[in-house]
């Protein structure tokens, strides 16, 4: 299975390098990518729904063996779907509770229950979100479960080191809002890990 994963990753990386019109290769960093649905609430009972995307460089994506901790740093973006009358009625505040924003995050997690090719994580994330004119802080406590396999292969054309995984996650947290105050939120979704891939062409 590890060899198959490595061959597929090499083909993708070499193809990406070839597509770069004359450039010498491609490097894909060890990433953790997560996409989910978030619901932000307020004391007055209002709420707003949004999508949440996280893309970060992760230690557990780079290390191909079991590790008791994971550390990642990356970019987080929240964005609201095209509003309709129902969504507008649920909006929190004059800017839909800051549903659309982009920022950076740091995440630290410890491994919980685990098997040979599955493991759970419990951790926390701190974030700084840019709402255009102001920045706001946020924090979240989160849990996830993933199925994974490590790979470490290489030759003169391609080297791969890290973990391939699929995951499901859920979190709860609080974020400062662009017009003052703060709001709690919950979110859940799916994720994947991509190992470090270096392809020479």
In this model, does residue 181 exceed pLDDT 80? yes
Per the structure, the complete domain to which residue 107 belongs is given by: 2-200
CATH number of the CATH domain containing 137 = 2.40.160.20
In this model, does residue 131 exceed pLDDT 70? yes
Number of domains in the chain: 1
Measuring CA to CA, how many Å separate 106 from each of 1, 80, 124, 126, 147? 32, 23, 9, 5, 23
| 134 or 173: which leads in pLDDT | 173
Within 13 Å, how many C-alpha atoms sit on residue 157's CB side?
Answer: 12
| 146 or 48: which leads in pLDDT | 146
The residue-averaged pLDDT of 42-50 equals 74
Ranges assigned E (strand) in 83-134: 101-114, 118-130
What global pTM score does this model have?
0.79
In this model, does residue 20 exceed pLDDT 90? no
In this model, does residue 129 exceed pLDDT 60? yes
- 23 Rama sector, left if φ>0, alpha if ψ -120 to 50, beta otherwise: beta
Q: How confident is the model at residue 7 (pLDDT cuts 50, 70, 90)?
A: very low
């Amino acid at each position: 299975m590890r060899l198959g994963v490595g061959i597929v990753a090499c083909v993708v990386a070499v193809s990406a390098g070839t597509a770069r019109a004359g450039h010498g290769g491609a490097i894909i960093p060890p990433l953790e990518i997560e996409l989910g649905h978030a619901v932000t609430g307020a004391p007055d009972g209002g709420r707003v729904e949004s999508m949440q995307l996280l893309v970060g460089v992760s230690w557990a994506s780079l290390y191909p063996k079991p590790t008791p901790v994971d550390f990642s740093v990356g970019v987080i973006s929240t964005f609201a779907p095209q509003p309709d009358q129902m969504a507008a009625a649920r909006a929190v505040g004059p800017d839909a509770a800051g549903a659309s924003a982009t920022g950076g995050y740091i995440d630290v997690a410890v491994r919980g229950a685990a098997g040979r090719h599955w493991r759970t994580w419990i951790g926390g994330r701190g974030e700084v979100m840019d709402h255009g004119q102001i920045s706001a802080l946020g924090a979240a406590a989160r849990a996830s479960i993933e199925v994974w396999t490590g790979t470490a292969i290489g030759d003169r054309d391609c080297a791969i080191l890290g973990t391939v995984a699929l995951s499901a996650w859920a979190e709860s947290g609080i974020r400062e809002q662009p017009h003052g105050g703060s709001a709690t939120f919950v979110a859940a979704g799916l994720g994947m890990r991509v190992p470090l891939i270096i392809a020479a062409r």
